[in-house]
């Protein structure tokens, strides 16, 4: 089972690191260039695209959320670890592992729930033809991107939960993936 999960996780991480991260970077670059072009158009030529501000806002937010899935899979998210570091320092490693399992389970429930609840939201936006403030850009593609991001984070968390449970059982899996690539505060 560990070998199958390892192959699946490697494939999933290849998709996230090789494809999703690059798409997020390209969208962020494109929307940043559009924002700069809009500033130049507004202050030099006195004109703007009616949809420009909405495209920049939704594009940047979408790219950031898309990259959240990448950072979630890498476990390179911001973490306040003072309590768990103290438990670890005092030798309560089993408690720390249990806390990791609980946090992974709660995260999985949250991400999967947001993805699941997003489906009717997108369907309603499509049915109502909801648009952004400029009344030009449809909202459902942006909402679908957010739903996909939460689904990707849920899948990443399944692998994290598996890794945490296996470590609690005394078996280390995914040796190639850093266990904790976080930013401590």
What is the DSSP track for 97-114? HHHHHHHHHHHHHHHHHH
In whole angstroms, what is the distance from residue 74 CA to residue 177 CA? 8
pLDDT tens, N- to C-terminus, the chain (185 residues): 888 999 999 999 999 999 999 999 999 999 999 999 999 999 999 998 889 899 999 999 999 999 999 988 888 776 667 777 788 889 888 898 898 899 899 999 999 999 999 999 999 999 999 998 888 899 999 999 999 999 999 999 999 999 989 988 988 888 887 666 555 44
Helices (DSSP H) in the chain: which residue ranges? 2-14, 21-40, 52-74, 82-89, 93-128, 140-168
Beta bridge partner(s), residue 184: 79
- The SS3 assignment for 92 reads coil
Closest CA to 159 of 108, 92, 95: 108
Do the Cβ atoms of 28 and 68 come closer than 8 Å?
no
Q: What is the pTM of this model?
A: 0.87
| pLDDT, tens digit, 9 for 90 and up, residues 146-156 | 999 999 999 99
């Amino acid at each position: 089972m560990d070998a199958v999960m390892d192959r699946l996780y490697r494939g999933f991480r290849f998709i996230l690191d090789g494809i999703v991260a690059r798409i997020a970077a390209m969208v962020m670059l494109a929307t940043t260039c559009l924002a700069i072009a809009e500033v130049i158009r507004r202050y030099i030529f006195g004109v703007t695209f009616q949809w420009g501000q909405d495209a920049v806002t939704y594009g940047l937010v979408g790219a950031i959320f898309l990259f959240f899935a990448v950072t979630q899979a890498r476990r390179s998210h911001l973490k306040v670890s003072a309590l768990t570091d103290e438990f670890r320092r005092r030798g309560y490693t089993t408690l720390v592992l249990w806390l990791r399992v609980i946090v992974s389970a709660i995260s999985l429930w949250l991400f999967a729930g947001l993805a699941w609840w997003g489906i009717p939201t997108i369907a309603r936006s499509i049915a109502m033809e909801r648009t952004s403030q400029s009344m030009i850009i449809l909202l459902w593609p942006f909402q679908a991107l957010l739903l996909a991001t939460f689904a990707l984070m849920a899948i990443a968390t399944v692998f994290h939960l598996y890794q945490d449970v296996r470590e609690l059982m005394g078996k280390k899996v995914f040796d190639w993936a850093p266990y904790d690539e976080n930013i401590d505060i």
